[in-house]
Copies of this chain bind each other. A is one copy, B any other.
Amino acid sequence: MKKNIEIISSAPLFSGLPEYQLNELNRIAVNKNYPKGAVIFSEGDKGSGFFIIAAGQVKVFKVSSEGKEQILHIFGPGEPIGEVPVFTGQPFPAYAEALVKSHLLFFPKTAFIDLIAGNPSLALNMLAVLSLRLRQFTVQIENLSLKEVPGRLASYLIYLSGAQENGQSVKLNISKGQLASLLGTIPETLSRIFAKMSEQQLIAVDGRHIRLLDPVGLESLATLGKN
């Protein structure tokens, strides 16, 4: 297991901070461990601080009254979660759950606010993080409202192939059921769309491995949104 100080030093949120402040952060950080499936926080909980993922994978999601989930984000090592309540004073707007056994660092709100108040570059880092997230939500809203499921899937695959360096082959790091929830649909529908896109020779699916056979076609599906 990585040392906390290493995790803190390598988190983008804390990049560029002087060493004494990294040590200070290390001092206030609390270790939290969660098994697969554990709830990290629930919508409506009051947030007494935020987390950085040291190891593992966490989903942040909303739930409808009928129990359907919409995943807002899937976070991995180095990423902060649960910052919103730190600055609004309101409760968490969503749920967070460990997708696999995870190790998080918890930063208590007041100590962290003091740190930010005394450190403009930490404040600017945090502003950048929130701004990026705002931009991501913007894209997600666009996808949900202006594209149909095939377009959303195509976008996601293209995004993955950019994030991974495997040529024209991508590997899903979540189950297809979770992917359905991330794309705002249900497993049955996603399964059918995988089948249709395979039939159309756009992709070839082998379990969690997907080869992008026709990047141009996928791109046009992703931007046109329809079909």
Contacts and interface: CB of A to CB of B under 8 A. Distances in A.
A83 B138 contact: no
Most buried by B among A65, A128, A138, A141: A141
Q: How many copies does the complex hold?
A: 2
Contacts of A131: 83-88, 130
Given A117-B120, A123-B124, A127-B126, A84 B135 contact: yes
A112 to B, nearest CB: 11
Contact of A64 (B65, B135, B140, B225): B225
A7 B1 CA distance: 53
Interface string A108-135: 0000010011101101101110111111
A36 B124 CA distance: 35
B139 A141 contact: no
Contacts of A88: 128, 131-132, 135
Contacts of A145: 62, 70, 144, 184
A130 B131 CA distance: 7
